[in-house]
Amino acid sequence: MAVVQDVHGHHDHHPSGIMRWVTTTNHKDIGTMYLWFSFAMFLVGGFLAMGIRAELFMPGIQILEPELFNSFTTLHGLIMVFGAIMPAFVGLANWQVPMMIGAPDMAFARMNNWSFWLLPVAGALLISSFFVPGGAAAGGWTFYPPLSAQGGLGVDMMIFAIHILGASSIMGAINIITTILNMRAPGMTLMKMPMFVWTWLITAYLLVLVMPVLAGTVTMLLTDRHFGTSFFNAAGGGDPVLFQHVFWFFGHPEVYIMILPAFGVVSEIIPTFSRKPLFGYSSMVYATASIAILSCVVWAHHMFTAGMPAVGQLFFMYATMLIAVPTGVKVFNWTATMWRGSMTFETPMLFSIGFVFLFVIGGFSGVVCAIVPIDIQVQDTYYVIAHFHYVLVSGALFAIFAAVYYWLPKWAGRMYDEKLGKMHFWLSMIFFNVAFFVQHFLGLAGMPRRIPDYSLQFADFNMISSIGAFGFGLTQLLFLYIVIKCIRSGEKATDKPWEGGSTLEWTLPSPAPYHSFETPPVIK
Amino acid sequence: MTQSVTKINVAMLKKLLVFSMIMFGFGYALVPMYEKFCEVTGINNLLQPDVVDKNIKVDMTRLITIGLDANVRGLPWQFKSLQSNVKIHPGESIEVMYEIKNDSDREVSGQAIPSYSPRFLEKYLKKFECFCFTKQVLKPGEVRRMPVKFIIDPQIPVDVSAVTISYTFFALEPGK
């Protein structure tokens, strides 16, 4: 292999062109690739969402045949969860964790490369499953049997993709845990770590705890489909309800895997723009840990209607409502951090405040869903859709946007266009609420999810929701434009573009050099 | 990175990989754990006879029609009920007969799984004796008649006048 050496800095020995990216073991390169990959998948998942909302724009079947509609909802969920949100946070961790703890790179640089390059394979499998006979999986992103036991080749491709994504996540998580535990700069004790690093440490532990269980679940599904086992196949004495238990044992911690790093991002940004240290740092750490622990004992609240003794329902109801306590501690701490701070409202701060505001709405509707008698009413309606989009879009996704705006000057060495950034925020904020707030009403009125048609009384709210969704989708193209404009022609960024930034990455030059902290900094 | 840090990292990697493998196994261990849990707590109780209060009162004012249905999945058997339906008063005990015949020239074993319509019938149907409590092993060409003895609890909602009890025989792997 002929590799052209690129020698413009005395440390920058790496292949150029495409091979730089294929063979790279540099945490910054890999972080960049994670982020671009997740953005590409975000656009694919967004395209599917636009298809769903276009079909639901009016009652009746206009654009998508019901089977294809089901594939759209299924793949929208899978791609957004496993392809967009999770890799984006791993990308942020790759960029930021070593820089924030004063480490030169991730602990296992080559494994890092491998865990990224598994992702495009899985993404390609998911997308190409639309074009095989029988189409893509259509049984919902939770792929409950018996539907997932019956589908065609598309379901097998989905199962294989989930295996690959699981392997990638486990490797990524192992890498992050090892980096954080073993490679912190001298003097940085655990309780001096930035909050983003703490949330990722806990998230990574959750990942190694539950991703293997998901791998086991899909393996059981695969052997049920092709090798004559009967874990979930009632015809052979198996139990489809067992699948739901095992799946949600993974699935509920999974939603915290997607939100804890978001908590970390917001806990970095709000202090910076309030020019005050984070209020209640140690309570924040303990709250994160208790959310993670509680998240492992609440899985059956997804299954209140699947058949469960009343005592089980009560346990899972109370345990679920208990999560509101540490979450409330966090929200209180963020608010208290802003209290009497000298606040400014640059784009990262706007997205963070938007996050706190809308995540609280999603959190409250979560407590509503936790109440068994109400859950039995709203189960599988648009109320649930509204709930988890408030925590995943205005929660996880807004935090990712905030993080990108916050750290882009450090990554690219250039500032983004503040005016356009603010426009991106306000358009996202307005269109998001137009799209999803009305879905609460639809759900309470009884509109079921995953159905391409609806009865006429739901027509107006659905049209409003679709308009909001189209607006939200288009707004994200503006985000792409802002990022590209920043990288190409943004103003030069200073080493510390945010006055209040206090973590280690701001002690590095902008853009961050290819190799940083080769001699670890000393933390006092 | 110094040598010692690399060593510690690799040790950590091994621990975490082992932990992941254990969690993969734990996913599989959940299957017998749930089975045991359901057995102990009596959830999903299909294989044990029900116990009924001896002084249960027969409700002579109501008559419920019970459809009896029989199916076979993946077995070389014929399976039918000898009556297609029966009428009983809630609280009155009754015995119905089913018949299976092994059409093949080998010994085959199967397990019957009940299902009910409406679904909540499960709560009100009390079975004292059923061929579904054990597996059935049939020699080549063997014919067997088997009873089901049960009552319907008079607590059953008053608007129910017809129900269906269905049994499906599934093949058991040889040796099970």
* Same domain membership, residue B157 and residue B76: yes
**In this structure, what token pair is assigned to residue A491?**
């103003």
Measured from the Cβ of residue A519, the count of other Cβ atoms closer than 10 Å reads: 8
* Structure tokens given for A183: 């490679």
Distances (CA, A) of A235 to A212, A230, B169: 27, 8, 9
* ipTM of the prediction: 0.87
Claim to verify: residue B79 and residue B120 sit in the same structural domain:
yes
A181–B23 C-beta distance less than 8 A: no
Q: Are A227 and A361 in contact (CB under 8 A)?
A: no
Q: Are residues B84 and B118 in the same domain?
A: yes
Asked if B156 and B78 sit in the same domain, the reply is: yes
Determine, yes or no, domain membership for B135.
yes
Closest CB to B13 among A174, A183, A237? A174
Q: What is the pLDDT of residue A228?
A: 84
Question: Best residue in B12, B20, B167, B173 to probe A by mutation, most A CBs within 10 Å?
Answer: B20
Question: What would the pLDDT profile of A495-518 be if each residue is shown by its tens digit?
Answer: 999 999 999 999 999 999 999 998
Asked if residue B134 is part of any domain, the answer here is: yes
User: What is the reported pLDDT for A14?
Assistant: 67
Least confident of A84-98, A223-237, A403-417, A461-475: A223-237
Residues of B in contact with A173 (CB under 8 A): 16
Q: Do B68 and B39 reside in the same domain of the chain?
A: no
CA dist., res. A383 & res. A443, Å (int): 4
The residue in chain A having the minimum alpha-carbon distance to the alpha carbon of residue B73 is A235
Angle of CA points A232, A236, A241, to nearest 5°: 25
Q: Which residues of B touch A220 (CB under 8 A)?
A: 27-28, 31
pLDDT higher than 80, residue A30: yes
Specify whether B23 is located in the same domain as B69.
no
Residues B37 and B112 in one domain: no
Contacts of A178 in chain B (CB under 8 A): 9, 12-13, 16
User: Most A CBs within 10 Å: which of B23, B26, B167, as the mutation test of the A interface?
Assistant: B23
Q: What is the pLDDT at residue B3? A: 66
Q: Is residue B59 part of a domain?
A: no
Number of domains in chain B: 2
Q: With an 8 Å Cβ cutoff, is A183 touching chain B?
A: yes
Calculate what percentage of chain B has a pLDDT beyond 70.
94
Structural domain of B12:
1-44
Q: Which of residues B115 and A385 earns the better pLDDT score?
A: A385
Q: Do B170 and A235 touch (CB under 8 A)?
A: yes
* Statement to judge: residues B77 and B134 lie in one domain: yes
pLDDT in tens, B147-170: 999 989 888 888 888 999 999 888
Cis peptide before B118 (omega within 30 of 0): yes
Catalytic residue numbers of A, as ranges? 76, 105, 141, 168-169, 252, 254, 256, 267, 301-302, 327, 330, 449
* A350: nearest Cα among A273, A265, A409: A273
Domain-embedded: residue B83: yes
Helix (H), strand (E), coil (C) string for chain B: CCHHHHHHHHHHHHHHHHHHHHHHHHHHHHHHHHHHHHHHHCCCCCCCCCCCCCCCCCCCCCCEEEEEEEEEECCCEEEEECCCEEEECCCCCEEEEEEEEECCCCCEEEEEEEEEECCCHHHHEEEEECHHHCCEEECCCCEEEEEEEEEECCCCCCCCCEEEEEEEEEECCCCC
Is residue B176 in some structural domain? no
What is the CATH number for B164?
A: 2.60.370.10
Q: Are residues B81 and B130 in the same domain?
A: yes
Whether the Cβ atoms of residue A439 and residue A382 lie closer than 8 Å to each other: yes
Domain-located, residue B50: no
pLDDT, tens only, A145-171: 989 988 889 999 999 999 999 999 999
Q: pLDDT-derived band of residue A400, with 50, 70 and 90 as boundaries?
A: very high
Q: What is the mean pLDDT of residues B79-83?
A: 90
Helix or strand or coil: residue A348? helix
| Alpha carbon of B24: minimum distance to chain A alpha carbons (Å) | 4
Quick one: B70 and B124 in the same domain?
A: yes
Chain pair A-B, CB pairs under 8 angstroms: 82
Binary contact (B16, A242; C-beta < 8 A): no
CA-based nearest distance A426→chain B, Å: 42
User: The domain A22-507: what is its CATH number?
Assistant: 1.20.210.10
Q: Which residues contact A15 (CB under 8 A, 6 or more apart)?
A: A3, A4, A5, A6, A23
Together in a domain, B90 and B24: no
Amino acid at the residue A405: Y
